[in-house]
């Protein structure tokens, strides 16, 4: 991550709008349901590499961002991505980019919710501060 800290990224394109769901402050998975909408944008580093940034809805989408303390980051499927949002929110990295196994577990959990159980709070890696 250190190689991008302090780097200024240039806007390329707006990709999609996604809503992230997670639990925060729940007790044994009860309560604490949260959600936030983000705009996924593609930015370019100086070397031309594409850098995905999830920007909280309502935050300004700028032409350039310098990667600094305002951002958090995650790595999923060997892809580093950044999140620009209210850092008081604590979703797991996996909520932003899911691989096949995580999609399966998420689907299984949706079925468990029908039976009154929710295991979404059990495991995950939080976003890291830059």
Where do the H-state alpha helices sit in 5-127?
A: 100-114
- Whether 101 maps to a domain, the answer reads yes
Residue 22 lies in a domain: yes
Query: Do the domain assignments include residue 13?
Result: yes
Over the range 98-125, which residues count as b (16 or more CB within 10 Å of their CB) and which as e? eeeebeebeeebeeeeeeeebebbeeee
**Domain hosting residue 39, numbered range:** 8-129
Is residue 19 in some structural domain? yes
d(CA 97, CA 28): 24
Give this prediction's pTM.
Answer: 0.78
Note down pLDDT in tens along the chain; length 130 residues.
Answer: 456 899 999 999 999 999 998 878 766 667 788 999 999 999 999 999 999 999 999 999 999 999 999 999 988 877 889 999 999 999 988 888 754 444 544 454 455 456 555 545 455 677 888 9
Q: How many domains does the chain have?
A: 1
Residue 1 falls inside a structural domain: no
């Amino acid at each position: 991550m250190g190689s991008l800290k302090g780097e200024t990224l240039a806007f390329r394109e707006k990709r999609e709008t996604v809503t992230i769901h997670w639990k925060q402050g729940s007790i044994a998975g009860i309560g604490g349901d949260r959600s936030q909408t983000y705009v996924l944008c593609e930015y370019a580093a100086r070397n031309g590499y594409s850098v995905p940034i999830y920007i909280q809805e309502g935050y300004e989408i700028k032409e350039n961002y310098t990667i600094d303390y305002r951002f958090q980051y995650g790595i999923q499927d060997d892809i580093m991505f950044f999140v620009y949002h209210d850092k008081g929110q604590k979703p797991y990295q996996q909520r932003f980019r899911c691989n096949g196994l995580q999609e399966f577990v998420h689907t299984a959990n949706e079925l468990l919710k029908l039976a009154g159980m929710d295991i979404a709070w059990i495991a995950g890696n939080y976003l890291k501060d830059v």
